[in-house]
């Protein structure tokens, strides 16, 4: 169970009012969309799950993503959109320290999660990832049975309880149980791509994280499977905070509460491409009346 | 000068027009045929050679079994083919046990070390370290085996085993031979197993890391099982090399020529089937004699053992093979 203590630091009003630093283009966090009543039925989130402050990512000393400052809200779906190479995936991977696995990668700045900086010296990335699960671009089930795929995580984190029950619950949360309950012992590779991806979601949910990071989870799937994953995301956001990277703007518009638009900054030259956060706001606003011209050009299809 | 007819001309024969799709004989098509034939001949030569080797083995083996009963050969426990008259006995079990004993010691050394090295190289080592160590391993796998044998004979036994275990350690002994054969096959096992583990897609590791698995868990519970078929292949390859290893054993483990009973003491000399063949074939057994035929009978048995081992590995590899896109 996530046992990180919640402190006053995660109070959004505090983080909202902070001076937002250097990115003048990034006007998103000056707005406090969650404080105004949202037309949608669900109650807007009032707590941040990640408070990112001046996050830079460097690969072998070269800046790849610069100065991302954004509060990401609890129990919301935040979509990260933008053209290829804008650093949205790289940024996503900062949120559960997956970048640590890449030799030469370095993250600067702060990402406050439940009052703790994820990049503080004494933070163990392995512990971080137990609370912040991830689903990848291509379904990547283990070459094991469906049951073993789900049971893997709970076993390694030492979850107590009846494993059959844990597996069943995880599969039900990913609305996969009815599809596979009669063939739990079958190899996961025999499933369709969409089912494999839902299995990967179930596998991530089985260890009971409180955040799910999704890196273009539908890019390898057909529209019907994509639709099911989107429905699933909307179902589970009651309990989880979700951050999704997507190339598909319709998808961002359909599922997300907030959207963050990244772009590639070429001002330092073609070989020094740097990803920057341009605008982060309520999804509807990003798609209908964005503050920044670059956002408008991107969402209306004039660029990218 | 076999010019292709221009496609704009009406095709000859029928009334239809369009590009000429008929096969024509050009210098190039003749060349293609020649290449195909020579490739076939190259493939055929290797198959034919192998068949001839097996046949020649088989001929002498059949002659051998005309004189010695198969039961005595396969189950007898007194191996004295070089002795004369009453003393001569062809029970192969002691030399077979010697082979397996030394192979066993070798695998005890090589399997854990080899697999740990493979896990280190594929999962833990920084790219730079790996780039240095991997080629060294591959070069080690090609060190002439006589070097290992000589090392066992002149260093391991006198400088290491005797001080540790006492003076009763024979100059040739199963322990020294086993240890060195183990070191000999270690790079092979490490290198092939490492290839298998590196071939496991990175996405599988990411999946496990992404839910809070440590590097150790990812290595042992994700990568290792996913690479199992390749790892089994590595182990079988190592075992085959150990079983067929000749020079190290001949120098450091015994010639396998005179084994009146099964040797179970690791400090004593035994020998292996391959060592027996090498020492007897270079001795003075006259062609056509029973001693001479013994070489072929032992050789054929060794051939069958390695064949069975390889068939087994093909089955195991097939069983655990996982195809990734």
Find, among B268, B260, B84, B116, the residue nearest to B177 by Cα: B268
Q: What is the pLDDT of residue A45?
A: 58
Interface of B with A in 246-285 (CB under 8 A): none
Q: Does B213 lie at the interface with A, CB-CB under 8 angstroms?
A: yes
8 Å CB contact of B211 and A138: no
B207, B218, B231: best to mutate for the A interface, most A CBs within 10 A: B207
**Average pLDDT of the residues in B257-286:** 88
8 Å CB contact of A144 and B322: no
Interface of A with B in 90-129 (CB under 8 A): 96, 98, 101, 103, 126-129
Of B201, B207, B217, the CB nearest to A200: B207
Residue B285 has pLDDT above 50, yes or no: yes
**Average pLDDT of the residues in B299-316:** 90
8 Å CB contact of A156 and B221: yes
Going by pLDDT thresholds of 50, 70 and 90, the confidence category of residue B319 is confident
Cβ neighbors of A68 (< 8 A, separation 6 or more) are: A52, A54, A55, A56, A91, A109, A276, A277
8 Å CB contact of B208 and A152: yes
Residue B46 has pLDDT above 50, yes or no: yes
State how far the Cα of A192 lies from the Cα of A120, in Å rounded to an integer: 41
8 Å CB contact of B225 and A153: no
Q: Rounded to a whole number, what is the distance in Å from the CA of B322 to chain A's nearest CA? A: 7
Beta-strand ranges (E) seen in chain A are 48-59, 62-73, 77-81, 105-113, 116-117, 132-135, 211-215, 241-245, 258-265, 274-282
Residue B47 has pLDDT above 90, yes or no: yes
Domain spanning A8-299, CATH class: alpha beta
By CA distance, what is B226's nearest residue in A?
Answer: A143
Of B210, B222, B322, the CB nearest to A129: B210
Q: Are A140 and B207 in contact (CB under 8 A)?
A: yes
Q: Which two tokens stand for residue B219?
A: 């290595």
B131, B208, B211, B217: best to mutate for the A interface, most A CBs within 10 A: B211
Q: What is the pLDDT of residue B15?
A: 52
The dihedral over CA atoms of A183, A187, A190, A196, expressed in degrees to the nearest 10, equals: 90
First to last CA, chain B: 47
8 Å CB contact of A129 and B206: no
Residue B26 has pLDDT above 50, yes or no: yes
**Average pLDDT of the residues in B75-103:** 90
Q: What is the pLDDT of residue A41?
A: 42
Burial of B93 (0-12, 13-18, 19+ CB in 10 A): middle
Q: Which two tokens stand for residue B163?
A: 């001080």
**Average pLDDT of the residues in B209-229:** 93
- Chain A CB contacts of B225 below 8 Å: 143-144
Q: What is the pLDDT of residue B166?
A: 87
Q: Does B185 lie at the interface with A, CB-CB under 8 angstroms?
A: no
Q: Which residue has the higher pLDDT, A42 or B274?
A: B274
- Chain B CB contacts of A152 below 8 Å: 208, 211, 221
Residue B223 has pLDDT above 90, yes or no: yes
Going by pLDDT thresholds of 50, 70 and 90, the confidence category of residue A243 is very high
- Chain B CB contacts of A134 below 8 Å: 206, 210-211
Going by pLDDT thresholds of 50, 70 and 90, the confidence category of residue A15 is very low
Going by pLDDT thresholds of 50, 70 and 90, the confidence category of residue A150 is very high
State how far the Cα of B42 lies from the Cα of A7, in Å rounded to an integer: 76
Q: Are A290 and A303 in contact (CB under 8 A)?
A: no
Which CATH code is given to the segment(s) B85-320?
1.10.3720.10
**Average pLDDT of the residues in A175-184:** 90
8 Å CB contact of A129 and B322: no
8 Å CB contact of B206 and A98: yes
Q: What is the pLDDT of residue A44?
A: 55
State how far the Cα of B59 lies from the Cα of B74, in Å rounded to an integer: 18
8 Å CB contact of B212 and A101: no
By CA distance, what is B216's nearest residue in A?
Answer: A156
A225, HSE (Cβ side, Cα atoms, 13 Å)? 17
State how far the Cα of A39 lies from the Cα of A123, in Å rounded to an integer: 39
Q: What is the pLDDT of residue B257?
A: 87
Q: Where are the domains of chain B?
A: 85-320
Q: What is the pLDDT of residue A260?
A: 94
Could you report the per-residue pLDDT of A23-45, keeping only the tens digit for each?
A: 334 333 333 334 333 344 445 55
Q: Are A252 and A27 in contact (CB under 8 A)?
A: no
By CA distance, what is A128's nearest residue in B?
Answer: B212
Q: Which two tokens stand for residue A268?
A: 């330092």
Of B211, B221, B225, the CB nearest to A129: B211
Q: Tell me how far the alpha carbon of residue B302 is from its chain's centroid.
A: 12
Per cent of chain B over pLDDT 70 is: 94
Residue A137 has pLDDT above 50, yes or no: yes
Q: What is the CA radius of gyration of chain A?
A: 19
Residue B3 has pLDDT above 60, yes or no: no
Could you report the per-residue pLDDT of A57-100, keeping only the tens digit for each?
A: 999 888 899 899 989 998 999 999 999 889 899 999 999 999 98
Find, among A19, A118, A26, A102, the residue nearest to A64 by Cα: A102
Residue B291 has pLDDT above 60, yes or no: yes
Supply the mean pLDDT for chain A: 83
Supply the mean pLDDT for chain B: 88
Residue A1 has pLDDT above 50, yes or no: no
Per cent of chain B over pLDDT 90 is: 57
State how far the Cα of A21 lies from the Cα of A60, in Å rounded to an integer: 25
Going by pLDDT thresholds of 50, 70 and 90, the confidence category of residue B275 is very high
Q: Are A77 and A233 in contact (CB under 8 A)?
A: yes
**Average pLDDT of the residues in B159-176:** 90
SS3 content of chain A, % helix, strand, coil (to 5): 35, 25, 40
Residue A129 has pLDDT above 90, yes or no: yes
Residue A48 has pLDDT above 50, yes or no: yes
Least confident interval from A187-191, A299-303, B15-19: B15-19
Residue A22 has pLDDT above 50, yes or no: no
Could you report the per-residue pLDDT of A208-235, keeping only the tens digit for each?
A: 999 999 999 998 888 888 998 999 999 9
């Amino acid at each position: 169970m996530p046992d990180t203590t919640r402190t006053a630091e995660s109070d959004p009003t505090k983080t909202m009012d902070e001076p937002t630093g250097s990115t003048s283009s990034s006007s998103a966090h000056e707005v406090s969309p969650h404080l105004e009543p949202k037309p949608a039925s669900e109650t807007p989130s009032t707590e941040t799950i990640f408070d990112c402050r001046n996050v830079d990512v460097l690969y072998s000393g070269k800046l790849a993503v610069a100065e991302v400052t954004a509060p990401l809200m609890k129990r919301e779906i935040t979509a990260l959109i933008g053209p290829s190479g804008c650093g949205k995936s790289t940024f996503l991977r900062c949120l559960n320290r997956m970048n640590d696995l890449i030799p030469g990668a370095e993250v600067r700045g702060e990402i406050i999660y439940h009052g703790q900086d994820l990049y503080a010296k004494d933070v163990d990335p392995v512990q971080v990832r137990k609370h912040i699960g991830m689903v990848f671009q291509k379904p990547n089930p283990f070459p094991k049975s469906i049951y073993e795929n789900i049971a893997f995580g709970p076993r390694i984190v030492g979850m107590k309880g009846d494993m059959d029950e844990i597996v069943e619950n995880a599969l039900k949360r990913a609305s996969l149980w009815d599809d596979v309950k009669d063939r739990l012992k079958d190899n996961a590779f025999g499933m369709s791509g969409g089912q494999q991806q839902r299995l990967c979601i179930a596998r991530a949910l089985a260890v009971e994280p409180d955040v799910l990071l999704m890196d273009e989870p539908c890019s390898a799937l057909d529209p019907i499977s994509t639709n099911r994953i989107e429905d699933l995301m909307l179902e589970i956001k009651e309990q989880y905070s979700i951050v999704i990277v997507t190339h598909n703007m319709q998808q961002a518009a359909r599922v997300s509460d907030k959207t963050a638009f990244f772009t590639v900054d070429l001002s330092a030259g073609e070989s020094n491409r740097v990803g920057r956060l341009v605008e982060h706001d309520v999804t509807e606003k990003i798609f209908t009346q964005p503050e920044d011209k670059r956002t408008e050009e991107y969402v209306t299809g004039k660029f990218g | 000068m076999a010019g292709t007819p221009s496609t704009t001309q009406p095709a000859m024969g029928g009334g239809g027009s369009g590009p000429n799709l008929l096969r024509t004989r050009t210098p190039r098509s003749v060349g293609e045929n020649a290449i195909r034939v020579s490739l076939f001949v190259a493939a055929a030569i290797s198959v034919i050679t192998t068949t001839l080797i097996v046949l020649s083995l088989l001929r002498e083996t059949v002659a051998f079994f005309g004189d010695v009963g198969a039961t005595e050969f396969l189950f007898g426990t007194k191996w004295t083919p070089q002795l004369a008259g009453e003393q001569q006995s062809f029970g192969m079990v002691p030399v077979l046990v010697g082979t397996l004993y030394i192979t066993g010691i070798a695998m005890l050394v090589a399997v854990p070390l080899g697999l740990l090295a493979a896990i280190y190289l594929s999962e833990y080592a920084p790219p730079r370290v790996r780039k240095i160590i991997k080629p060294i391993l591959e070069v080690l796998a090609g060190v002439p085996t006589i070097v290992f044998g000589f090392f066992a004979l002149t260093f391991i036994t006198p400088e290491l085993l005797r001080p540790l275990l006492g003076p009763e350690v024979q100059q040739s002994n199963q322990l020294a031979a086993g240890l060195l054969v183990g070191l000999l096959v270690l790079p092979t096992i490490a290198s092939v197993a490492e290839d298998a583990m590196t071939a496991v897609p990175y996405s599988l590791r990411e999946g496990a890391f992404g839910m809070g698995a440590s590097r150790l868990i990812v290595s042992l519970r994700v990568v290792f099982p996913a690479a199992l078929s390749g790892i089994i292949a590595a182990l079988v390859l190592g075992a085959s090399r150990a079983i067929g290893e000749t020079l190290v054993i001949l120098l450091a483990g015994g010639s396998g020529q005179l084994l009146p009973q099964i040797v179970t003491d690791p400090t004593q000399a035994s020998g292996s089937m391959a060592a027996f063949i090498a020492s007897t074939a270079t001795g003075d057994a006259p062609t056509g004699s029973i001693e001479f035929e013994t070489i072929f009978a032992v050789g054929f048995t060794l051939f069958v053992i390695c064949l069975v081992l390889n068939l087994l590995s093909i089955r195991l590899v097939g069983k655990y093979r996982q195809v990734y896109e």
